[in-house]
Chain A
């Protein structure tokens, strides 16, 4: 059996699905954040698989942009998580409910 484009796409779709599910069901902010990173990496895999399949370089270059953006997001995101942790000593998203009352 040869490994073709569809294998990569299905793997990427599965990773993306796992990431989405994690964002929706997990309650720890850090785990949610990790799941978002997983989604971005699934997207990278899709880009690179298509790029390889088409024989063009676009997808390879795009994945570098995505990595850079993900790094910027991670920097800001971790700072925000730290900021929230300082004020309320918890990383559970369900306890972030000041606005409800």
Chain B
């Protein structure tokens, strides 16, 4: 077996290694804690780990040339500006979640060190998802994230809603994983590889393969699997229950980081591997853009319309997160038309996919702003996040009210705030693709944003214009205040000075382009180019199934491409 392992490759996943090491430390620290002792120090340990990993990531970011990507472990993982950009998001989200949850866990009687370890393990999974260029590594990273999150959702043991939400999330999540995996198996069968660059070359070499049943079915199944994770309609039905039942800091973590990880995968797998001219609307391509087009419309309406009658803020935010997935999908659809294929000129622009990167960052901080305030409502396993619980809170707890109000306005997309510019750039870049279908889609998205205003503003009405009807326990916490202040500052700063983050997003998406335009350059240098064809033909004993895999395609695939996953 050809196993490519360079010690220097470990530097490429340095932030992941740091996060995993600190996750193990956090789990160990629990052993040394005395009974009854506060586990705040475990949270601090986790926070230190997240910050060190953040610094390591910044170091990687500065060491990378924008358009360059470094393949690691024989091409299974990659370090490029795209993955590094997402790692910033995941690590910032992890740090904020850890700060937010320390007091929350104490108030709800589940002050255990494992929480912090699990948050870090989930973060490691997300980072590997953004870095993977091999479907099996992608699957394992996704499971690392998901399994950690299943436990986190049920973490507050007194909460019956949490137990129920976790079970629902687990069953749906495992179901989605199985579907995703079946899709991967079919793609493997069609192209003889699970590596994205090899799959891409196999598809390029033989257009009839790209239109074959196996590839089409495999892509649809992979899309459904990821669609469950990022809550696209019609695979979104679990979202309100899980977001509602999960502890508030975990809900914030899920809404911001899990969604971002899903979209990182969506962009890398679909736009880069299956994307570009072969996949035009209906015209001989796989037509998956058409599928995404419909999903975008359905998701936006499903999220926004279902949010209207809700009376629980966490359920409103769950439907809002579905609607936001719909807006982001508009960018994915627009990004699949053209912009990625025009290599040199487009590299200087943001493009719809770059706008997605910007949007995800802004959306994450808006979400944390809302949840920094929302996590304060409740005690002992009971959360009080009904709209009526918020009544009058804008005057009784001005800062809590302010955080909720600004966060909601940013999610709604009000002008001076970051949320507005996220939407603005996303829709503008989508319009610039110049396709009439996309223009219609953007108009649908704008109509949906207006529908969305109703339920975001309804929260403000309760905060500032209603009299409180009952007393609800609202604790105060320095951690939540810190998270609130940081998020508040960032939401304003990204709105007033979006330039810096836009440049970063542009660089991030720019690092994906060379993969599309020159699939054989620099990225695949470590792979054997001419495998012995005879050894592979030897196993071909079933001529009956039409695999649509002529010898020309077989020559392109590498015989063993599990290098990265078989290193131990």
- Report the minimum CB–CB distance from B434 to chain A (whole Å): 41
- Report the minimum CB–CB distance from A87 to chain B (whole Å): 5
- Report the minimum CB–CB distance from B535 to chain A (whole Å): 6
Chain A binding site: helix, strand, loop or mixed by DSSP? helix
Which residues of B lie under 8 Å from residue A20 when comparing CB positions? Answer: 179
Contact flag A43-B182 (CB < 8 Å), given A6-B544, A58-B194: yes
- Report the minimum CB–CB distance from B190 to chain A (whole Å): 9
Contact flag A77-B178 (CB < 8 Å), given A4-B542, A55-B537: no
Which residues of A lie under 8 Å from residue B189 when comparing CB positions? Answer: 9, 46, 49-50, 53
Which residues of A lie under 8 Å from residue B163 when comparing CB positions? Answer: 80, 83-84, 87
Which residues of A lie under 8 Å from residue B157 when comparing CB positions? Answer: 83
Q: Closest residue to B241 on the A side, CB-wise?
A: A99
Q: Closest residue to A83 on the B side, CB-wise?
A: B163
The count of chain A contact residues (Cβ–Cβ below 8 Å) is 49
Q: Is A62 an interface residue (CB 8 A)?
A: yes
A2–B541 Cα distance when bound, in Å, is: 10
Contact assessment for B164 and A99 in the assembled complex, using a CB-CB cutoff below 8 Å: yes
Contact assessment for A39 and B535 in the assembled complex, using a CB-CB cutoff below 8 Å: no
Contact assessment for A99 and B171 in the assembled complex, using a CB-CB cutoff below 8 Å: no
Which residue of the partner chain, among A9, A50, A88, contacts B188 with CB atoms under 8 Å? Answer: A50
Contact assessment for A46 and B185 in the assembled complex, using a CB-CB cutoff below 8 Å: yes
Which residues of B lie under 8 Å from residue A52 when comparing CB positions? Answer: 539
The residues in B between 176 and 208 inclusive whose CB is less than 8 angstroms from any CB of A are 177-179, 181-182, 185-186, 188-189, 192-194
Which residues of A lie under 8 Å from residue B182 when comparing CB positions? Answer: 16, 39, 42-43, 46
Which residues of B lie under 8 Å from residue A98 when comparing CB positions? Answer: 160-161, 164, 245
Which residues of B lie under 8 Å from residue A76 when comparing CB positions? Answer: 147, 150-151, 170
A70–B335 Cα distance when bound, in Å, is: 35
A80–B175 Cα distance when bound, in Å, is: 16
Which residues of A lie under 8 Å from residue B241 when comparing CB positions? Answer: 99
A88–B193 Cα distance when bound, in Å, is: 46
Contact assessment for A40 and B545 in the assembled complex, using a CB-CB cutoff below 8 Å: no
Contact assessment for A77 and B174 in the assembled complex, using a CB-CB cutoff below 8 Å: yes
A16–B522 Cα distance when bound, in Å, is: 39
A12–B136 Cα distance when bound, in Å, is: 19
Contact assessment for B150 and A69 in the assembled complex, using a CB-CB cutoff below 8 Å: no
A69–B177 Cα distance when bound, in Å, is: 10
Contact assessment for A4 and B175 in the assembled complex, using a CB-CB cutoff below 8 Å: no
Interface centre among A52, A72, A77, by most chain B C-beta atoms within 10 angstroms, is: A77
Which residues of A lie under 8 Å from residue B1 when comparing CB positions? Answer: 57
Which residues of A lie under 8 Å from residue B107 when comparing CB positions? Answer: none
Contact assessment for B168 and A96 in the assembled complex, using a CB-CB cutoff below 8 Å: yes
Which residue of the partner chain, among B171, B177, B542, contacts A6 with CB atoms under 8 Å? Answer: B542
Which residue of the partner chain, among A54, A62, A80, A88, contacts B170 with CB atoms under 8 Å? Answer: A80
Q: Is A23 an interface residue (CB 8 A)?
A: yes
Which residue of the partner chain, among B168, B245, B545, B565, contacts A4 with CB atoms under 8 Å? Answer: B545
Q: Is B280 an interface residue (CB 8 A)?
A: no
- Report the minimum CB–CB distance from B330 to chain A (whole Å): 29
A35–B566 Cα distance when bound, in Å, is: 29
Contact flag A69-B139 (CB < 8 Å), given A6-B542, A99-B164: yes
Q: Closest residue to A36 on the B side, CB-wise?
A: B174
A2–B170 Cα distance when bound, in Å, is: 41
Contact assessment for A54 and B147 in the assembled complex, using a CB-CB cutoff below 8 Å: no
Contact flag A80-B188 (CB < 8 Å), given A55-B535, A72-B143, A99-B161: no
A32–B172 Cα distance when bound, in Å, is: 10
Contact assessment for B171 and A36 in the assembled complex, using a CB-CB cutoff below 8 Å: yes
Q: Closest residue to B195 on the A side, CB-wise?
A: A58
Contact flag A36-B175 (CB < 8 Å), given A76-B151, A88-B160: yes
Contact assessment for A80 and B136 in the assembled complex, using a CB-CB cutoff below 8 Å: no
Q: Is B154 an interface residue (CB 8 A)?
A: yes
Q: Is A11 an interface residue (CB 8 A)?
A: no
Contact assessment for A65 and B136 in the assembled complex, using a CB-CB cutoff below 8 Å: yes
A2-B541, A80-B166 given; 12 more Cβ-contact pairs under 8 Å: A39-B179, A42-B182, A43-B182, A55-B535, A58-B560, A72-B147, A73-B147, A81-B167, A83-B157, A84-B163, A98-B160, A99-B161
Q: Which residues of B contact A (CB under 8 A)?
A: 1, 136, 139-140, 143, 147, 150-151, 154, 157, 160-161, 163-168, 170-171, 174-175, 177-179, 181-182, 185-186, 188-189, 192-194, 240-241, 244-245, 535-545, 559-562, 565-566
Q: Which residues of A contact B (CB under 8 A)?
A: 2, 4-6, 9, 16, 19-20, 23, 29, 32-33, 36, 39-40, 42-43, 46-47, 49-50, 52-59, 61-62, 65-66, 69, 72-73, 76-77, 79-81, 83-84, 87-88, 93, 96, 98-99
